[in-house]
Structure formats: structure tokens, C-alpha cells
Amino acid sequence: MTESPPSERSPLRIFVVGAGLGGLAAAVSLRRQGHRVEIFESSLMKREIGAAITVQANAMRVLEHLGYEEKNLKGVDFFGTVRFSGSGGEGQTHLFLIPRDSMGRAGWLCHRTDLHDELKRLAIGNNGAGPAVRLNLGQEVVSCDPVAGTLTLKDGEVHQADLIVGADGIHSIIRTSVLGYAQKALPSGISTFRCLFDAAKLEDLADMEWFTAGISGAKVVTSPEKRFRMLFLFPCRSGTLINVVAHHVDDRDPDKHDWNAKASVEEVLEEFKSFHPRYLKFLELAEPPILRWQLRALPILPTWINGRTALLGDAAHATLPTLGQGAGMALEDAAAIGCLIPLGTRREEIPARLEAYQHLRKSRGEFVNRESLEQATEPSKRGLYARSKDMQEFLIGYDSVQTTQKYFDEHFSGRGG
């Protein structure tokens, strides 16, 4: 790659809106290129974020590129799933068909907060490559001029950047500015109870071999009835916590209820009362808070970019957790945008680089968006990801860093960066 003259290798000023997993990862990715990055986050980040997530091999490759320390994730090996009927009986094991390594592992099960904390460390720590990211908490963005590259805060202050990355989630303000109109995520008709409990609670219980024996991974329990209900159970935080995800058809009017609200153990047990008692134990052990989330998905957007502004993660392609690839797609987005904007990129080159970002990322994000929704709502497609080698190859066999760097070398090498 041709070296740019020193005068052309000054860092860009970059704003990332949102300090979730995607926003922090994008900030780290751009920091590593030597840019001056600031994050604007409306919250004060004083509470734990979400519950547990799957980090599949495609996401692990990005984390390696960002320089993470494996021990900080406290991950549990993820080899596949064992599926059970809600009425009981023997389980069916589904190993990942495209393993990451010789052990057969295809990812990790980890607490979302542990991954978030590690990305935050990589962003604002003093020992990383490039200048430390400035994290502005309690700074709510109310509007954006995507072409000019300006953000307006709630207090009226206006800030100017060379590049704006909208990683502000499913309710994205930046998305409205990029599109020119508000686009809400649409209800899927499915909601999810989510909670955690201490794994030590299982030690004295009988009939736990179905959960503790066999492969390291998730146990999936599906309703024997036509009405869709599914439990997704797995350990995280070095095996000390059990994550409980309970999907179910939700007949309530979605617009008359909060997107996420606290629920009681009794509500969860009532919804899953037809399941075998050994599965209900996991619901009875739930520790507050139990949250009931409406699962909503964005429709396909006409664009993710406008001027010098790009959408990333849930702001661009929020979808259901069916494939366990929500965080993975956000991390891939972050890796791509960093690889496309190395030190030496000039301000006037940003729109072309964002065109490349959209070319590389949009169809892939949309595939996950559609498949996650269809594999939750279409009975004939449920569980397809666990059975499809082609789909696993497409998703977990992908390397966002390598793919983007190759594209950059073919299209931009020697022209700024």
C-alpha cells in the first residue's frame, strides 16, 4: 500500500452515537486507525446491559482484530445445541457443522456486560493503539445533519465531525436523519421473557442430567403444541450464571404495552404451563428482574448512508435473536468501517468509503434480518440454522476484516490510506 505524505495522514474527527456493543466496537476499530473518536451516549451506563448472548466465530474474529483479551469475556464454549420437546423425552444434538477449531467449538456463550466491558476497555483505555476514545455520557443527540456531519445535542450544542457513525440502536435518531423520515421497528407478534439465576441453584436438584450432561452449548426446548413457545437455556460467566430466554407468541396489542417491561415468575409459568416440570424449574429459579421484551424487526431500509454519515448495528438492521447473530453483525459492521477508513483518509473521501461500506455490509445484514424473522415466525423454517451447513458457512465462516481489507486494497489502495 502506497504511503501517504505526512501532511495527508492527519487523523479524522469521528463521532459515534451510541455506546452499545456496536458503537464501542466501531470506536475501537476507528481508534486503532489513529483517528480522534468521540462517543455520544444518552445514558449514564450505570446498570448492566441485557443478559447473555452467543458470540459466534465470525464475531470472535473481529474481537481478535480489535485486540481483546479472551479471559475478560469469561466465555463458556459453544459447540452446538441440544433440542428437546416441551413434553419431555430425549434430546437431539446439533453440533455446529462449521466448527471454528479442532475442538469443534464455534463460539462462546457470554454475559453481554462482560463483552461490553471489554469493548469499553479497548475504547477508552490508555494502552491501546491510537488515541483513547472520548466517552461523553448523558449526552443526548436530538438531530444530525448527515451531509454536513454535525450533531445537535439536547442542550443545543452543535458539534462538527468528518464522519458520523449512527450506532444508537433500534430507536435510532441518526436513522431518521439518514433516511429523512422516521422508520420504527415493526412487531413480530413474539415476545421474550429474559432472566438469569445463580448456577449453584441447580446443584441439589434432581433430574438435571438433561441440562448438565452432553455438549457444552445451549439447550433448546420447544412447545409440543402448535402455538409457538421456546426456551433457550445456557450457562455464561464461566458457568456461574444460567441464562433463560423464553420466546412465546404474544397476543397483546404491541402498541399498548412497553417494548420491555418487568414481569413476574407467575406470568412466565402461566405462559409455559404445558411444559414438562423439569423445564419449569428453570423458570421457577428466575431471579429478578425478569424482563418481557417485544421482539421487533426493522423493515429493509433503502439506504444505510447519507453524505458522511452511516448506520451500524441495530440502527441499520435490528432483528430477532433467532440466529444469535445480532451482536455478530454489529461487530462485523464495526470492523468493516474501520478497515475502510485508515489514517490518511481525507474528509472529502468519506462518502465514497461509506458507499463501499454499504456495498459490503447491507445485503449481509439484510439476510440476517430476514432469516431471523422468518425462522421465528414460519413453522417450516424453525431450527433451520442448526441444520444448514450452507447457512452456517455463510455466517460463521465469514471474516469481515479479511474481506474488507481485500476490497480496500482492490479499490482504494494508494488513494488515501
Q: What is the pLDDT of residues 236-245, one digit of tens each?
A: 999 999 999 9
Per-residue confidence (pLDDT) for residue 5, from 0 to 100: 45
Cβ burial of 342 (10 Å; 0-12, 13-18, 19+) is buried
Q: Say how many residues make up the chain.
A: 417
Q: For residues 145 and 152, what is the distance between their CA atoms, to the nearest angstrom?
A: 8
Assess contact for 39 and 349: CB atoms under 8 A. no
CA distances from 169 to 23, 54, 135, 172 (A): 9, 19, 17, 5
Alpha carbon distance 241, 197 (integer Å)? 6
Query: Quick one: what percent of the chain has pLDDT higher than 70?
Result: 96
In terms of pLDDT, which residue wins out, 31 or 46? Answer: 31
Decide if pLDDT at 343 tops 70: yes
Per-residue pLDDT, 297: 95
192-211: string of b/e by CB count within 10 Å (b at 16+)? Answer: bbbbbbebeebeeeeeeebb
Q: What is the mean predicted confidence (pLDDT) over 68-82? A: 95
For the record, the C-alpha cell of 80 comes out as 452446538
For residue 289, give the nearest of 263, 259, 271 by alpha carbon: 263
- For position 124, what pLDDT does the model report? 97
Bridge partners (DSSP) listed for residue 143? 152
pLDDT value at residue 415: 52
Q: What is the mean pLDDT of the chain?
A: 93
Contacts with 238 (C-beta within 8 Å, 6 or more apart), sequence order: 74, 75, 76
Give me the helices (H) in 251-309, please. Answer: 265-271, 277-284
Domain boundaries 6-54+113-185+299-411, corresponding CATH code: 3.50.50.60
pLDDT at 2: 37
The one-letter amino acid code at 363 reads S
Residue 400: pLDDT band by 50, 70, 90 thresholds? very high
